[in-house]
Amino acid sequence: MIRPRECPICRKPVLPATEGAADHFPFCSERCRQVDLLRWSKGKYAIVEPLSPDQLPENDETQDADDE
């Protein structure tokens, strides 16, 4: 069963069956694939910006109090 999925970069629907799409699947295009690669490589070497508090999951700060 084939169902369209969204390009993680630009949110355009991506059809896996599209001819030639296998090269950059699951992205809609080679360009979006490169954008994603850049994001990952940047994330590896540099933290661009810290998460803002409202992006953090609700963690119990005492959860690893007895971890060590």
Query: Which residues does residue 5 pair with via DSSP β-bridges, in sequence order?
Result: 14
Looking at beta carbons only, is 17 or 46 nearer to Zn ion? Answer: 17
Interface with Zn ion in residues 35-64 (CB under 5 A): none
Phi, psi dihedrals of residue 24, rounded to the nearest 5° = -125, 5
* Length of the chain, in residues: 68
* Residue 10 in the binding site for Zn ion (CB under 5 A): yes
- Tell me the window of 17-25, 28-36, 48-56, 60-68 that interacts with Zn ion (CB under 5 A): 28-36
Give how far the C-alpha of residue 48 lies from the chain's centroid of Cα atoms, to the nearest Å. 15
Instruction: Catalog residues that contact Zn ion under the rule CB under 5 A.
Output: 7, 9-10, 28, 32
